[in-house]
Chains A and B, each alone.
Chain A
């Protein structure tokens, strides 16, 4: 093993939540009378939050946010938490194959409650133990600042320069590269459109992996 430890982003790396979220968003808008495909949703709304997100929807459908939209979204969040979301292909087998003594952590922008619940659904919570870190809860500055990765590396007792990070989003990659770790841009999730790998390369990832088999080879 070339690295002393491994740090995972969560949504889009272990959990297909980006794709699931956009599929539901497209369904919702379509049902409310504004036909949108999952692909369009990913192209136009992914990575946005708060007012930017709502503005992008308004601009795309050429109509104010439909009545009932927020309620449907909140209900979907509750359903996702209760029932779970598909893992990224190969993710569960990969984390189960990590050498037993190898330090590992999750460093995510999501809440620890979200991460823990979905790790439970996937049946891999034991793999990470208490090493689940949220950019909202454990540090003052979330991604794209490198702080949550540095915090995770410290917490699992490794030098960030000897760590490998798996990331899928431009914001996460920027922070991961800034931390000084070896960064693999993982484009295994269904949300990764053509050109995504090149975008991550432009932001400085050391390697691209199209699936977890490639990750295993890169860190082997």
Chain B
């Protein structure tokens, strides 16, 4: 990439950061000013989470009031927000902006009523659940997991259809970080085979036994990776989404040479240029990519986690442009709350946790 192109991309990134979708941040800023910050954040997150509901989903609550016009004060707030964008990134994850978990009704089937019971229902099931056998729980968990999986694959298929893409071209990775094996099994039973973990150690404790049992599982590392864990990661994972710095490229290259095993890699880009986020800076991408290719890392695409609470579409579009500019076919982008935007803008891999497992405890 020449300097001019880099300049273009930087300009686009800055422009997106400035005006992409800052209204929510503005509201947060206005509400947060002079009040207890935490309460203000909560006040903003609720409508934000509602706004981020999936397209077509029944909205039970009325949408938050929309500003009829931008007042001078609001524009000033937006400018303040731009400064916040540049200097203040209070949170590290996206959990805050994720949609609340979908409620999956548990069907109550397969058992006769106990004496004295006159009606079936969730209330009855809940009161008596501890008395039921493990087999019953397993059956219910499997049904609930299958329903959640079907819900997510339907969302992917609907978004893909709108974008004239085939739903099968989008790989669904179930993010099972912090989930115990007993929560993972029902999803495997429902047919899910691609799983993603954040930490090498946690994955080592959970997956080798499951892999023996289900040899066709595909394991993805989506969390940041320390160079001293590169060897373990190469041994365990099939795809690594978080390659983001020269020292890690070097360590992975050596580990792959030694192991004779070369997991596919995504370069993680810090697309919002946020200080606390992992990922390489946009400006550093060409050099890192060159180094990764020289070290024989099979780089198949780019990955990003866009800034929380901003509309993700501009960042996804920018990541797609970077991937095109560098001739990379893969795009790992989109999670529970924003997979539609990811798929419509070209995602080949979406990383979904909450919508498949429910909210993390």
A residues with CB within 8 A of B: 2, 47-49, 52, 144-146, 159-162, 170-171, 174-175, 177-182, 195, 197-199, 201-204, 206-208, 214, 217-218, 220
Contacts and interface: CB of A to CB of B under 8 A. Distances in A.
Contacts of B340: 174, 203
A139 B12 CA distance: 18
A48 B163 CA distance: 10
B68 A144 contact: no
Contact of A208 (B66, B70, B316, B344): B66
A208 B75 CA distance: 18
Contacts of B57: 202
Given A144-B163, A144-B345, A206-B23, A199 B63 contact: no
A208 B51 CA distance: 13
A145 B55 contact: no
A209 B59 CA distance: 18
A146 B63 CA distance: 26
A204 B311 contact: yes
A218 B341 contact: no
Nearest to B311: A204
Contacts of A171: 162-163, 344
A159 B12 CA distance: 10
A183 to B, nearest CB: 9
| In the A-B complex, the 5 residue pairs with the closest CB atoms | A161-B19, A178-B317, A178-B313, A204-B311, A144-B344
B317 A202 contact: no
Contacts of A178: 313-314, 316-317, 341, 345
Given A177-B311, A180-B15, A207-B67, A146 B55 contact: no
B290 to A, nearest CB: 26
Between B20, B54, B344, the greatest number of chain A beta carbons within 10 A of the residue's beta carbon is seen for B344
Given A52-B161, A201-B51, A202-B57, A180 B344 contact: no
A220 B23 CA distance: 18
A170 B162 contact: yes
Contacts of B59: 195, 198, 202
A201 B63 contact: yes
B314 A174 contact: no
Nearest to B21: A204
Interface of B: 12, 15-16, 18-21, 23, 51-57, 59, 63, 66-70, 75, 161-164, 311, 313-314, 316-317, 320, 340-341, 344-346
A199 B56 contact: yes
Given A177-B311, A177-B313, A206-B23, A159 B15 contact: yes
Contacts of B67: 207
Contacts of B344: 144, 171, 174-175
Given A161-B15, A203-B313, A204-B311, 16 more contacts: A48-B161, A145-B317, A145-B346, A146-B313, A159-B15, A160-B15, A170-B55, A174-B162, A177-B21, A177-B341, A180-B314, A198-B59, A198-B63, A202-B55, A204-B341, A207-B66
A144 B161 CA distance: 11
B69 A218 contact: yes
B319 to A, nearest CB: 11
B55 A182 contact: no
* Most chain B CB inside 10 Å of its own CB: which residue of A2, A170, A175: A170
Given A144-B344, A174-B345, A199 B55 contact: yes
A217 B69 contact: yes
15 contacts: A2-B69, A2-B70, A144-B344, A162-B19, A171-B162, A171-B163, A174-B340, A178-B341, A180-B12, A180-B20, A195-B56, A202-B52, A206-B21, A208-B66, A217-B69
Contacts of B23: 206
Nearest to A219: B69
B9 to A, nearest CB: 13
A156 B123 CA distance: 62
A145 B314 contact: no
Contacts of A182: 19
A192 B28 CA distance: 31
Nearest to A162: B19
A128 to B, nearest CB: 24
A202 B16 contact: no
B72 to A, nearest CB: 10
Contacts of B70: 2
Nearest to B99: A202
Contacts of A179: 314, 317
Contacts of B18: 161
A197 B56 CA distance: 10
Contact of A180 (B19, B53, B55, B346): B19
Contacts of A181: 19
A220 B71 CA distance: 10
A56 to B, nearest CB: 10
Nearest to A47: B162
Nearest to B310: A204
B345 A145 contact: yes
A181 B313 CA distance: 11
B63 A180 contact: no
